[in-house]
Amino acid sequence: MNEENQGLFTRCIHGGQRNCEVTGAVMPAIYTSSTFAQESPGIHKGYEYSRSHNLTRFSFERAVASLENTGLTEEQDTTCGGFAFASGLAATATCLEMLDSGDCLLAMDDMYGGTYRLMSMVRERSQGIRPVYVDMSDFTAVESAFKEHRPRMVWVESPTNPTLKVSDLARIARIAEDHGAIAIADNTFCSPILQRPLDLGMHVVMHSATKYLGGHSDVVGGVLATRVPEIAERLRFLQNSIGSILGPFDAYLCLRGIKTLGIRMERHSRSAMEIARMLEAHEKVERVVYPGLPSHPQHEVAARQMGLPDGPGFGGMITMYLKGDIETARRFLENVRVFALAESLGGVESLIEHPAIMTHASVPPESRAKLGISDTLVRLSVGIEDLEDLMADVKSALDAC
């Protein structure tokens, strides 16, 4: 059966994979060798040096390429357009190297704080790129930014971290294409189970594999995937030239994580929907932001571009504003017992955090205020524990604050 015709859950397990030709092993070995013997100078089995060629990493890269529907064959690109890195930020940093000094980079105004830090506090100085931030959930703002700044790259996160704004990826991809800009989507919050940006016309998709792909909060990694052969060629050159690759042990963990991605995303999405509904009705909660709620400002776009293979699905991330002040938020966060108060997201365990103090401290206070990353904003990453336990935990912490 042709892989493109297989369902996503089948591809989580088999996509881009083949059994070992020597032993029949169904999982690749963790190839730790940094180098590979050659029969004669330049005559080898396709593996020279592990930064450039590592079969464990290749297996993970091909798995992501399959799930993100790159459609590239191994003849077009060794790993079918998938590229794995030491972290999500290493993937982003390598991707930014497609820009030249002086190029404008149009980026979402609300996104992971570390991405903002990399663009504005590192690469603007060292690479000379010109980041411009707009609210891409407002397409009119995107159109005027294109006219005014003529960007060469567009960077969108949808839903965003932490205010869960949703942008219309197909429209953004079209305007980028019309202007000859490279369109990139950070798909970390959705994973390819809920959203496949390349199918919507984006040129490159990026993930922090630390999150849902790995899924167990035990690995840091990043990945890029593209279906454009010329971009795959550039990324292959950049990945090898910069060298911030994912190591074989971590590639193995990411690949193992992907096997259960489908059922995990199903569970994250269903539990988060229930918790979001409960929170929205709770007297101590000012406002809940969850793309699955009809009250979400871009709910219709979310329902169109996100979803599980057999029905609605909006992921495991919820943002809420508590009534009260920073002390209320602090008491609430000190009183959860099943949710762990920790940065990161997307693991099997439920996590909760305070973006203004924790993940988004690197965003300047005035930008945080503009984006609504206030002192009472709390972000939840709903795990796959029993829903009743998660509900009871959140309710009792709310009672205590």
User: Considering beta carbons, is residue 108 or 397 the nearer one to ligand PLP?
Assistant: 108
The enclosing H or E element of 369 equals helix 365-371
Q: What is the 8-class DSSP label of residue 245?
A: B
> What span, in angstroms and rounded, lies between the C-alpha atoms of 48 and 42?
9
Exactly one of 214, 222, 248, 383 binds ligand PLP (CB under 6 A); that residue is 222
Q: Is 89 in the site for ligand PLP (CB under 6 A)?
A: yes
* CB distance 12 to 67 below 8 Å: yes
* CB distance 261 to 193 below 8 Å: yes
User: Considering beta carbons, is residue 53 or 211 the nearer one to ligand PLP?
Assistant: 211
Please state the closest distance from residue 373 (CB atom) to ligand PLP, in A: 14
User: Identity (one letter) of the amino acid at 295?
Assistant: S
Size of the site for ligand PLP (CB under 6 A): 14
| Cβ-based neighbours of 102, under 8 Å, separated by 6 or more | 128, 129, 130
Q: Is 208 in the site for ligand PLP (CB under 6 A)?
A: yes
Exactly one of 77, 186, 250, 353 binds ligand PLP (CB under 6 A); that residue is 186
Task: Give one DSSP letter per residue of 9-78, joined into a string.
Answer: HHHHHHTT----TTT--SS------SB---SBTTBSSS--BTTT--HHHHHHHHHHHHHTT----TTT-T
Which of 62, 77, 110, 112 is labelled catalytic? 112
Q: What is the 8-class DSSP label of residue 5?
A: G
Residue nearest to ligand PLP (CB): 88
Catalytic (active site) residue 112: yes
User: Considering beta carbons, is residue 267 or 360 the nearer one to ligand PLP?
Assistant: 360
Please state the closest distance from residue 186 (CB atom) to ligand PLP, in A: 5
Please state the closest distance from residue 296 (CB atom) to ligand PLP, in A: 18
Q: Is 112 in the site for ligand PLP (CB under 6 A)?
A: yes
> What span, in angstroms and rounded, lies between the C-alpha atoms of 354 and 167?
24
Task: Give φ, ψ of 228 to 5 degrees.
Answer: -95, 115
User: Considering beta carbons, is residue 137 or 188 the nearer one to ligand PLP?
Assistant: 188
Q: Is 109 in the site for ligand PLP (CB under 6 A)?
A: no
Q: Is 212 in the site for ligand PLP (CB under 6 A)?
A: no
Please state the closest distance from residue 208 (CB atom) to ligand PLP, in A: 3
Catalytic (active site) residue 186: yes
> What span, in angstroms and rounded, lies between the C-alpha atoms of 50 and 63?
19
Please state the closest distance from residue 222 (CB atom) to ligand PLP, in A: 5
Please state the closest distance from residue 353 (CB atom) to ligand PLP, in A: 10
Exactly one of 220, 232, 258, 306 binds ligand PLP (CB under 6 A); that residue is 220
* CB distance 185 to 160 below 8 Å: no
Task: Compose the 137-166 pattern: x for residues touching ligand PLP by CB under 6 A, - for all others.
Answer: --------------------x---x-----
Residues comprising the chain, all counted: 401
User: Considering beta carbons, is residue 115 or 269 the nearer one to ligand PLP?
Assistant: 115
Part in contact with ligand PLP (CB under 6 A); list of ranges 38-46, 86-94, 232-240, 255-263: 86-94
State yes or no: cis peptide before 312, omega within 30 of 0: no
Please give the order of strands across the beta sheet that includes 377-381: 285-289, 317-322, 377-381, 351-353, 340-341
Which residues are annotated as catalytic? 51, 112, 186, 211
Which chain residues interact with ligand PLP by CB under 6 A? 87-89, 112, 114-115, 157, 161, 186, 188, 208, 210, 220, 222
